[in-house]
Amino acid sequence: MRRRSTRSVLAAVLACVALVVSGCTTLVAGSASPAAPAETPADPTTTPPQAPPVDDIAWEDCTDNVQRAVGGELDRPLTFDCGTTLVPKDYDNPADGDYELFLLRGVSTEQTDRIGSLLVNPGGPGASGVDTAIGLALSLPDEILARFDIVGFDPRGVGFSAPVECLSDSFKDEINAAEPTPRSPEEIDEALDLSEEIGDECENKYGEELGNFNTTYTARDMDRLREALGDEQLTYLGYSYGTTLGSTYAELFPDRVRALV
């Protein structure tokens, strides 16, 4: 797979990270909701097959972009880097090619006694870890920033990481017109029918490849990120569905866990 220049997505990052200050969730362009990983295809307790060597992260400074996105001077001594790295599309068949993951890290210029990276995920499934890393870098206690780089990534299928985009304009119109909180049997049936139609449309578009967007593979991506970041063990902060990613990682790689929250 040909790697995109990190600069090619920075303009889009500007639009997305601006939502951080208002607490909004970034949506993938062309879809009405974040893409959700498919069901895990294999038992996460099984030993993973051999994967190709870990790809280096191609970092570029994007402090100015983040600063413009949040509306002015940063009120903390931080720098931000944006980067990309490649992961196998299918860990069971590495020859099938790669997906490119997009990452962002926030680093305090006043670090002391650095431990490593704090990898973060906001859950969803389908929310942007890039947005979350910016928000946490701007809000976590100084004691944490002094010891850790704050690193977020858009999981496979989300945001700038090979986004799964299944919603046509007509489906978006149906979603917008649907009852947001179905209560009656008729409303519930309509919501279920619409969900099934969207699922069928997504399966028709992506076919078997849709199975690559799952919890186990995302956890394995996290281990490759850990290695690419230079950490012997993972320090991780997950929210909501992000806790499922953390527990799956711990089942797959119990000896590579430093701390999970």
Give the model confidence (pLDDT) of 160-184 as tens digits.
999 999 888 888 888 888 888 889 9
- The SS3 of residue 83 is strand
Q: What is the pLDDT of residues 243-260, one digit of tens each?
A: 999 999 999 999 999 999
Within a domain: residue 144?
yes
Angle CA 192–198–201, to nearest 5: 140
Q: What is the domain range of residue 37? A: 7-164+213-260
Answer whether residue 206 is part of any domain.
no
Q: Is the pLDDT of residue 154 over 70?
A: yes
Please indicate, yes or no, if residue 203 is contained in any of the structural domains: no
Name the phi and psi angles at 105, rounded to 5.
-130, 140
In-domain check, residue 172 = no
Mean pLDDT of 233-250: 97
Q: Look up residue 54 and give its DSSP letter.
A: P
**pLDDT of 73 above 60:** yes
74 in a structural domain: yes
pTM score, whole prediction? 0.79
Per-residue pLDDT, 1:
54
The CATH number of whichever domain residue 231 belongs to comes to: 3.40.50
Paired strand residues for 151? 105, 119
Cα gap 204→25, rounded to integer Å: 27
What residues contact residue 258 under an 8 Å CB cut-off, 6+ apart? Answer: 116, 231, 232, 233, 234, 235
pLDDT digits (tens, 9 = 90+) for 194-211: 889 888 989 999 999 999
Domain count, the chain: 1
| Residue 68 within a domain | yes
Characterize the bridge pairing of strands 78-88 and 257-260: unpaired
Determine the Cα–Cα distance for residues 116 and 235; give it in Å rounded to an integer.
8
> For 25, which DSSP code?
-
Tokens of 254: 């119990």
pLDDT digits (tens, 9 = 90+) for 2-22: 455 544 445 444 444 443 433
pLDDT band at 220 (very low <50, low <70, confident <90, very high): very high
Query: Which residue matches tokens 């500007």?
Result: 14
What band does 44 get if pLDDT is binned at 50, 70 and 90? Answer: low
Q: Could you tell me if residue 105 is inside a domain? A: yes
Q: Is residue 177 part of a domain?
A: no
